[in-house]
């Protein structure tokens, strides 16, 4: 395996690391309840996906 002969400068290392960052998850409004949910996933609040109820969510009793 190759090893670097000289150390990398701070700016060169930081230029390389500019792409190592977290992205904000894409959230879209649910068509049934209107709350934000991850795209292409079942809504955790109402249980609907693409207009159909997939998961039965029990309502909290007051």
Query: For position 17, what pLDDT does the model report?
Result: 92
Chain position carrying tokens 């190759």: 2
Measuring CA to CA, which residue among 62, 29, 61, 25 is closest to residue 48?
Answer: 29
The pLDDT tens digits of the residues spanning 9-61 come to 999 999 999 989 898 889 999 999 999 999 999 999 999 999 888 888 887 66
pLDDT at 25: 86
- What are the two backbone dihedrals, phi and then psi, of residue 27, each rounded to the nearest 5 degrees? -115, 135
pTM over 0.85: no
């Amino acid at each position: 395996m190759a090893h670097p002969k000289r150390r990398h400068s701070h700016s060169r290392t930081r230029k390389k690391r500019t792409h190592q960052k977290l992205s904000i998850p894409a959230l879209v409004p649910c068509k049934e309840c209107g709350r934000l949910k991850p795209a292409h996933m079942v809504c955790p609040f109402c249980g609907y996906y693409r207009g159909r109820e997939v998961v039965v969510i029990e309502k909290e009793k007051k």
